[in-house]
Structure 1
Amino acid sequence: MQNRKEYFKHLLHNKNWTQEDRVWFLQYLNEKDLTELQEFAAAEYNADLFTAEPILAREDSERILKNIHQRIAVKPQPIVRRLWWRAAAAAMLILAAGIGYYKVSHPPVKELIVLSGEQRKKVTLPDGSKVLLEPRSSLKYKGDYGKAEREVALSGEALFDVQHDNAHPFIVASSLINTRVLGTSFNIEARDAREAKVVVLTGMVQVQAIDGNRNDGQEVILTANKRAVYNKTTDQLQMSDASDDARFYLQKQQGRFVYDGTELIKVVNDLQRYYNINVTVDKRLQHCAFYGDFNTIDEPEKALNVIALSLNARINKDSAGNGFNISGGSCQ
């Protein structure tokens, strides 16, 4: 007789057992030591977990289950003490055959990861919700997103515009806080393990701190123009006004920054924040009123030149070549 484990495999995959197969299997079941069958079943189970295709289709699994029952019943043994061994062996073979059907019925759920790299990246989720990822940020969500739940995991910073769905709340998980909404727009900063911030533009969100030194489940409800900041060092979740932050994020979401008599220093702060650059302004120009707008797809130099023209000022790069300086001109 060939190697037993090879013969087990032959029985597992063969549609029709011969009389010799039946006799051999029943004789084997009468043995006290079923170690080889146990090892075979375990090996088939583990192998199938790491293969893309199942070992057997559903109908094959059902057929083997039925046939094993029939074959064991063909020549019942008179020794009652053997019955437990037969049942155990049959169960092992059924497990090896049935795991293929389980894998078909419960395929692994893929996890999708979006990386922004060094540029902002727009992401549209399956439900139509939109995410604007800031540079060096990542967003993860499951391949079955939206079927049972709408949950994403954020590392970094992102601006969310969530489709309304009463039956499926939208949840953003990060290292320090979880944010839960039904339909709204908000921005989350969760770049490190020390502090996380949520600013609401429209609608309402629930923010809950994770872990910390207390177990009271700190949480706050935020409405439009409100901010929640969680500090891990102090283990405090605090809410405050965020009208200026909300204005900034809303204009970023709309793709255009519009100013109607805004102090130049505030305009420059927006440019620094959006383009991640350093801009200095002569003190005598900082409170000049600025009227104009910038498109978010414009290069920073273009936006700065619009400011310079309105004030008859000059734009110069700093000595290191990493930032800009606005000088000369006047408020007029």
Structure 2
Amino acid sequence: MHNRKEYLRHLLHTTEEWTIAEKEWMLQYLDGNDLSELEALAAEEFDADLASVKHTLDRQLSEKILEKIHRDMPAPETVPPRKTVRLYNWRAVAAAAAIMLMAGIGYLAFNRQSMKQQVVAATSERKTVKLPDGSLVSLEPGSTLQYPQRFGKQSREVSLDGEAFFEVAHNEKQPFVIHSSLINTTVLATSFNVEARNAREARVVVVSGRVQVQAKSQTAGREQAMIITANKSAVYSTSTDQLEMRDAEDDARFYAQKRMGKFIYKGVPLEKVVSDLERYYNATITTDVKIQGCVFNGDFDAADDLDKTLTLIAISLNASIHKNSSANSYTITGGSCQ
């Protein structure tokens, strides 16, 4: 064997039962004087130095793995007593313990991946989360994100309850999957918004790149999936059990500006500006009909409170702002298009 370390790696990561030949090879290796490859491999796999790996070796575990190696192996007709004794000397036992530890790599890796981190954005806050792969998730108020401490080698999977904007780090070999109650969203690298707040409707709006959306259809055996690109949305409704593609240029613009932290308007009808503010601040804003069509030029900082933003609009239109008795409700009255 030209590269014993790589062959050891192969044996210890294989999901198949070792063949008799592989078991015999391992026995011969354990019975040798040079076990440096095994020690080095154990250190690599556990992100530890050789000293810490050796410190964790255990005789009982070693004997168990040796027993596993011998299991189902036809016993040789004659086994020299000295050979048997030498097989179970401390060095071989220590090496076997390393094998036992490494045999659990897959299990430990699975547990690391399955150990979920949970981030909750309260009803009055927004949170930005940086995932293990460098992707960014901006959680809207009242939303919850779950993700593993480490992503698997085949995919990057998270769960969302609520609404969030995703900026996914590029990795062609690891598709990024967002699980929610009604849909699964799969991407390679892009920016998009997922809204899955209730059990009736879910929506994905793509700002850049492309996304595959798959509905968890209510009809058994029925699969619905589609690929959407920038300025498009996929909407799934339980009432119709349909996944539909829609134009979403305004939505994409809104999410892009929100992520940038600044809303910029050049000749945009006041009606659309107010709609954006209602969505962002979770407020109700009523305007006089005569000024709804007025165009607005200006920009708002996403960090500003709603009162300050509405004041800027009122000044530009020579209008007045009234805060209503109901929570987070405003009325813009008077004014005129200039």
Amino acid at match of 2:295: A
Counterpart of 1:3 in structure 2 is none
Cα deviation for residue 171 of structure 1 reads: 0.5
Matched, 1:233 2:239: yes
Counterpart of 1:161 in structure 2 is 167
Deviations along 1:140-185, whole A, 9 cap, x unmatched? 1111125442111000000111111101111101111110000001
**Larger Rg over CA atoms:** 1
Deviations along 1:32-82, whole A, 9 cap, x unmatched? xxxxxxxxxxxxxxxxxxxxxxxx95432344448999xxxxxxxxxxxxx
**172-181 or 108-117, which moves further after superposition?**
108-117
Amino acid at match of 1:190: A
Deviations along 1:70-113, whole A, 9 cap, x unmatched? xxxxxxxxxxxxxxxxxxxxxxxxxxx99x95896433322111
Q: Is the 8 A contact 1:312 1:329 kept in 2?
A: yes
Mapping for residues 129-168 of structure 1, pairs under 5 Å: 129-145=135-151, 147-168=153-174
1:171 to 177, 184, 187: 177
Deviations along 1:268-323, whole A, 9 cap, x unmatched? 11000100001111111111111000011110111101101111111111133531
Q: Cα distance 1:329–1:220, how it changes in 2: closer, same or farther (>3 A)? A: same
1:325 to 319, 322, 331: 331
TM-score normalized with structure 2 length: 0.69
CA distance in 1, matches of 2:249, 2:174: 29
2:255 to 238, 249, 274: 249
Number of corresponding residues: 249
Amino acid at match of 2:189: G
CA distance in 2, matches of 1:218, 1:313: 49
Counterpart of 2:121 in structure 1 is 116
Counterpart of 1:215 in structure 2 is 221
**102-111 or 205-214, which moves further after superposition?**
102-111
Amino acid at match of 2:191: S
Cα deviation for residue 215 of structure 1 reads: 1.8
1:271 to 277, 284, 299: 277
Amino acid at match of 2:312: V
Q: Cα distance 1:146–1:122, how it changes in 2: closer, same or farther (>3 A)? A: farther
Q: Is the 8 A contact 1:122 1:133 kept in 2?
A: yes
Counterpart of 1:82 in structure 2 is none
**272-281 or 118-127, which moves further after superposition?**
118-127
Counterpart of 2:71 in structure 1 is none
CA distance in 2, matches of 1:152, 1:301: 36
Gaps in structure 1 of 5+ consecutive residues:
1-55, 70-96
Mapping for residues 1-332 of structure 1, pairs under 5 Å: 57-65=56-64, 101=101, 105=105, 106-107=107-108, 108-109=111-112, 110-118=115-123, 119-145=125-151, 147-332=153-338
CA distance in 2, matches of 1:205, 1:63: 49
Q: What secondary structure does 1:126 align onto?
A: coil
Amino acid at match of 1:59: D
Q: What secondary structure does 1:297 align onto?
A: coil
CA distance in 2, matches of 1:279, 1:248: 17
* % identical aligned pairs: 50
Amino acid at match of 2:59: D
Counterpart of 2:52 in structure 1 is none
Amino acid at match of 1:320: S
CA distance in 2, matches of 1:117, 1:259: 29
TM-score normalized with structure 1 length: 0.70
Q: What secondary structure does 2:222 align onto?
A: coil
Q: Cα distance 1:58–1:122, how it changes in 2: closer, same or farther (>3 A)? A: same
Amino acid at match of 1:319: S
Q: Is the 8 A contact 1:61 1:101 kept in 2?
A: no
Q: What secondary structure does 2:58 align onto?
A: helix
Amino acid at match of 1:140: Q
CA RMSD in angstroms, aligned pairs only: 2.4
CA distance in 2, matches of 1:299, 1:269: 16
CA distance in 1, matches of 2:187, 2:264: 28
